[in-house]
């Protein structure tokens, strides 16, 4: 990995810069360090940052643009007739050249022109690496020398380092925001391609979901219907079931933990709940499919109900259990945040513990509890594994919890599993579903945040 080598080399250079800067500061400071504005190591750090950061930035830019430039140079060097007009074909050709360039043994049947191109590619790569090394070294040394020449006792190295660190932190936070934006943009662009093939109204309001499209004209049973309503209804149904399970259990657990449990019981129950939160969803999934679903089926059968072996109920109940820790730990936190003085005030008026909890603690903590529940809902909506295993893949348009349903996330997963062509509506539908799901959870999270902020109690 040449990139890692460059990174390590840059860091080494920065270390050298640190030592040089520090030494220079000691020299400049003279026998009495007191003349220096900052500690010598701040001068070292200042020089190191000026040496390392520009070098790293140049390196990053280089890595971004180098492959494109090298590729186009290689293509230019190819014999005139060999470059096809179609961009897809061009990328195939480039892949072939790169494969040849990296191959340990050149296949005997390879096109001599391509072999030549591969050799050209390799030599270009080498030149590029050398060039990068030279540029990095130059940038680093220029930064080093420039920063070192600025060192004087009056220079406020400590404050300048502070500023540089602030900039570095800002860049890091920008990265996470940019990543989010990039994900959303990729969703949007792929969705636009999907909506070119399937009208957006069909997608949003269609009542039938059957994403198999015909690859050949004579194929049967592959109509390709992309109505998202059954998926969202299935998602809503399973989420509703899980909330019905999780909210009471989670809330009661939180009340027990916050107001009734002795410190010893709390010390046992809380970690156990955290273990519940730590169980991988796959494990919940097969628990739902292999234990809960057959149990519900048997139970339904014994009272004369027809329960499908893969039912929304089984998936919803298990998902509810899964999100209990979310509801309980968030609610526990907000109820603990209700000041003891309110509980004392209520007790001093002759209220029992449960009266106090019902009439003072829970109302005061309600915004936080609602926020916690909404976060748990987003979590339930995004959950995939349990539903894949326990609720099935059939996109039934039903609100009957005893039937098999499917959810948005499950369909995204099944659409993208295995080898896919990335230009058919079937695959692109995954992006459209993802975009819609993203919008729904985004709105939920915004509402949750708003509720929590608006109704947050001011106790003091």
Question: Which residues here bind another protein, judged by CB under 8 A?
Answer: 263, 339, 341-342, 344-352, 355, 359-360, 363-364, 457-459
Nearest approach in angstroms of CB 22 to another protein is: 52
Residue with tokens 């230019």: 76
Hey, is 183 helix, strand or coil? helix
Tokens representing residue 163 in the block: 């500023």
Task: Let me know: does 66 contact 128? Beta carbons within 8 Å.
Answer: yes
Give 327 or 364: the residue with its C-beta nearer to another protein.
364
d(CA 231, CA 433): 9
Let me know how long the chain is: 460
Give 16 or 351: the residue with its C-beta nearer to another protein.
351
Residue with tokens 């139970």: 299
Phi first, then psi: what are they for 226, rounded to 5°?
-120, 50
Give 163 or 456: the residue with its C-beta nearer to another protein.
456
d(CA 338, CA 268): 23
Tokens representing residue 408 in the block: 């948005």
Give 92 or 459: the residue with its C-beta nearer to another protein.
459
Buried b (16+ CB within 10 A) or exposed e, 260-292: ebeeeeeeeebeebeeeeeeebeebbebbbeeb
Give 162 or 344: the residue with its C-beta nearer to another protein.
344
Nearest approach in angstroms of CB 192 to another protein is: 48
Nearest approach in angstroms of CB 247 to another protein is: 22
Give 28 or 366: the residue with its C-beta nearer to another protein.
366
Nearest approach in angstroms of CB 50 to another protein is: 53
CA angle 10, 12, 16 (to 5 degrees): 115
Whole-Å CA distances, 161 to 57, 166, 408: 18, 8, 49
d(CA 242, CA 219): 40
Give 5 or 341: the residue with its C-beta nearer to another protein.
341
Nearest approach in angstroms of CB 255 to another protein is: 16
Give 1 or 348: the residue with its C-beta nearer to another protein.
348
The secondary element (H helix, E strand) that includes residue 186 is helix 157-197
Nearest approach in angstroms of CB 371 to another protein is: 16
d(CA 379, CA 175): 24
Nearest approach in angstroms of CB 274 to another protein is: 24
Give 279 or 337: the residue with its C-beta nearer to another protein.
337
Nearest approach in angstroms of CB 227 to another protein is: 47
Q: Count of CB atoms within 10 A of residue 406's CB?
A: 26
Buried b (16+ CB within 10 A) or exposed e, 429-447: bbbbbbbbbeebbeeeeee
Task: Let me know: does 317 contact 307? Beta carbons within 8 Å.
Answer: no
Give 360 or 410: the residue with its C-beta nearer to another protein.
360
Nearest approach in angstroms of CB 375 to another protein is: 22
Give 111 or 355: the residue with its C-beta nearer to another protein.
355
Nearest approach in angstroms of CB 333 to another protein is: 17
Nearest approach in angstroms of CB 368 to another protein is: 12
Whole-Å CA distances, 425 to 21, 107, 162, 188, 406: 60, 38, 52, 14, 19
d(CA 283, CA 96): 43
């Amino acid at each position: 990995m040449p990139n890692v080598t460059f990174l390590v080399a840059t860091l080494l250079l920065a270390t050298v810069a640190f030592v040089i800067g520090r030494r220079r500061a000691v020299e400049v400071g003279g026998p009495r360090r007191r003349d220096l504005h900052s500690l010598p190591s701040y001068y070292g750090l200042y020089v190191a940052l000026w040496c390392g950061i520009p070098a790293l930035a140049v390196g990053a830019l280089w890595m971004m643009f180098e492959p494109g430039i090298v590729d186009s140079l290689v293509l230019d060097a190819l014999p005139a007739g060999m470059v096809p007009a179609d961009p897809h074909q061009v990328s195939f050709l480039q892949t072939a050249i790169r494969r040849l360039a990296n191959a340990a043994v050149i296949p005997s049947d390879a096109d001599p022109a391509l072999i030549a191109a591969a050799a050209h590619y390799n030599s270009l790569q080498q030149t590029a690496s050398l060039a990068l090394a030279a540029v990095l070294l130059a940038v680093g040394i220029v930064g080093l020398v420039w920063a070192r020449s600025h060192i004087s006792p009056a220079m406020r190295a400590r404050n300048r380092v502070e500023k540089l660190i602030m900039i570095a932190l800002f860049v890091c936070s920008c990265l996470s925001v940019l990543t989010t934006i990039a994900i959303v943009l990729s969703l949007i662009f792929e969705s636009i391609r999907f909506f070119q093939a399937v009208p957006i109204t069909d997608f949003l309001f269609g009542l039938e979901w059957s994403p198999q499209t015909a690859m050949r004209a004579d194929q049967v049973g592959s109509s390709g219907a992309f109505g998202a309503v059954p998926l969202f209804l299935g998602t809503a149904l399973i989420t509703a079931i899980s909330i019905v399970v999780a909210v009471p259990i989670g809330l009661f657990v939180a009340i027990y933990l916050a107001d009734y449990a002795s410190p010893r019981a709390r010390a046992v129950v809380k970690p156990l709940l955290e273990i519940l939160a730590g169980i991988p969803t796959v494990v919940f999934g097969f628990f739902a499919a292999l234990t809960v679903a057959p149990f519900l089926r048997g139970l339904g059968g014994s009272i004369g109900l027809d329960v499908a072996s893969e039912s929304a109920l089984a998936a919803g109940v298990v998902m509810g259990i899964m999100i209990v820790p979310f509801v309980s730990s968030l609610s526990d936190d907000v109820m603990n945040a209700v000041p003891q003085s309110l509980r004392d005030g209520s007790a001093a008026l002759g209220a029992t513990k449960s009266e106090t909890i019902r009439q003072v603690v829970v109302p005061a903590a309600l915004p936080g509890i609602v926020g916690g529940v909404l976060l748990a809902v987003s979590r339930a909506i995004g959950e995939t594994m349990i539903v894949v295993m326990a609720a099935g893949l059939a996109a039934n348009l039903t609100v009957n919890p005893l039937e098999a349903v499917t959810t948005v996330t499950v369909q995204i997963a099944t659409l993208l599993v295995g080898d896919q062509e990335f230009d058919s509506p079937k695959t692109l539908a995954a992006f459209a579903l993802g975009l819609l799901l993203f919008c729904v959870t985004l709105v939920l999270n915004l509402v949750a945040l708003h509720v929590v902020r608006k109704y947050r109690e001011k106790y003091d």
